[in-house]
Structure 1
């Protein structure tokens, strides 16, 4: 199935990170957050930080952003400040994810903080910089650029206690899709498919080359994974029971800084200030 560039828009700052919550939220190099509807019509925009937005997440009408100015900022979907969340102060926040109304934040000192209702609920240290993370209860998956660490946590029971269940080779980004874990191999060009179960020791099922250059972005929607990176090619992969199968690609012309796949389409933020929506045809 072919992929088609459906619509695009241009902004005056480099788009760096992207999130979705019924509309598109883009964090930029100048510290602003810009919003777009499903058709990339611009909405509200606001200055979130004095410098580049490092991480962004959105859910339930709230937007979470982090930069190197300390802390995590919480916004309404209209750009009104809701709260400033305290962090450890040990390093910049590199990853923000929302799971079941709880915010998970990973920093460069290896801390993972869990927030509920804008208050810290739990804190764990996985000993290595957290460039990406995913939570599939009770397992927390964290990764930098050498290894994936699988940690069993129960934030409702303990604010700090955890058990390391497994480590495996891998680098950011990563995602868990149902019973499967997807993560980049250390070289940054190959995508690996694992069983996301401790019973099989997170067995590797398949590995496929997805790019000639470093992959920066990975998103999963339904039975499909999307990848993009330095080579400017957005690719789609069908997630089978134990294989990843090619399901279309499109050359978008410049480095893909981030992408996210939704029911309304797949969106990419590109070097040079371009934002695009791609659909399968």
Structure 2
């Protein structure tokens, strides 16, 4: 059977407003949206639990082994129990900024804000330090000691040294482009400034980047969501956005090749891969779907 929508969240269970972020963690899907709620789902999109986490939009969520972290334009980052979604604590509060992105990677929680700061916490809460990447942090991805950050016009590539008492960093490159960001193998993927072209760069051992592939006009409208994964030695990219078309791309042999598509009836804001051959997409008016390959 070709790439297709296998199941959807029931209308009575979905978010009231747009979904902004999906994560798949320990066999469960978590979604967060403009209604300020975090919702938890089984892999088949059976509704399991929810919490009114913020009074306004949740812009990003991430998870470690013990908690979900959420950030909002209300100036807070909060943590929640994985299974019950009970509140653990207000992890960070600063009413002078809006927190736009949270990302957990290899023992470090990264928190990006609208002023270009990326704060880092280790050991589930100890402040380690911060860096400033000069542009607001709408999206963020980490590959080894390189951090990629972006808003709408540029992707900032920053080299980090995380071995000392405080993080040391230097900006390596500024590349024209925008999110969403995706990583697979030794490649970083983002969109052109107009949001319609897909750009793939290979990350070499010396951390310099080389253009791997570019697909001009990959979508007719702006791409909002992307996720990349390696299944059984094959690398795949999935993209979607305002044109309501989810596209599948094979990343191989120094090229990016179209390998299928699926129409969907809502604007896609976010995507994430789940178990093998399963992709989740969510977005406009709270809709959420699982697509099977």
Preserved contact between residue 17 and residue 258 of structure 1 (Cα < 8 Å)? yes
Preserved contact between residue 75 and residue 96 of structure 2 (Cα < 8 Å)? no
Instruction: Give the corresponding residue for 2:149.
Output: 142
TM-score with structure 2 length normalisation? 0.90
Change in CA separation of 1:35 and 1:200 when aligned onto 2, cut-off 3 Å: closer
* Displacement after TM superposition at 1:67 (Å): 0.9
The runs of 5 or more residues in structure 2 that have no matched partner are none
Change in CA separation of 1:27 and 1:12 when aligned onto 2, cut-off 3 Å: closer
Structure 2: how far apart are the matches of 1:197 and 1:110? 26
Instruction: Give the corresponding residue for 1:278.
Output: 291
* Displacement after TM superposition at 1:268 (Å): 0.9
TM-score with structure 1 length normalisation? 0.94
Instruction: Give the corresponding residue for 1:210.
Output: 218
Aligned structure 1 segments of 4 or more residues deviating by more than 4 angstroms: 87-90
Structure 2: how far apart are the matches of 1:16 and 1:218? 13
Change in CA separation of 1:225 and 1:179 when aligned onto 2, cut-off 3 Å: same
1:250 alignment partner, one of 262, 269, 283: 262
Change in CA separation of 1:45 and 1:159 when aligned onto 2, cut-off 3 Å: same
Instruction: Give the corresponding residue for 2:101.
Output: 95
Cα deviations by residue, 1:133-185 (Å, 9 ceiling, x for unpaired)? 11112111111122111111123315253111122111011122121111111
Instruction: Give the corresponding residue for 1:8.
Output: 8
The residue matched to 1:189 in structure 2 has which SS?
Answer: coil
Instruction: Give the corresponding residue for 1:169.
Output: 176
Number of residue pairs the alignment of both structures matches? 280
Instruction: Give the corresponding residue for 1:83.
Output: 89
Preserved contact between residue 2 and residue 247 of structure 1 (Cα < 8 Å)? no
Structure 2: how far apart are the matches of 1:87 and 1:129? 18
Preserved contact between residue 122 and residue 155 of structure 1 (Cα < 8 Å)? no
Cα deviations by residue, 1:206-257 (Å, 9 ceiling, x for unpaired)? 1113210010011112111111101111111111142111121101112012
The runs of 5 or more residues in structure 1 that have no matched partner are none
2:192 alignment partner, one of 185, 198, 204: 185
Structure 2: how far apart are the matches of 1:199 and 1:179? 12
Change in CA separation of 1:88 and 1:140 when aligned onto 2, cut-off 3 Å: farther
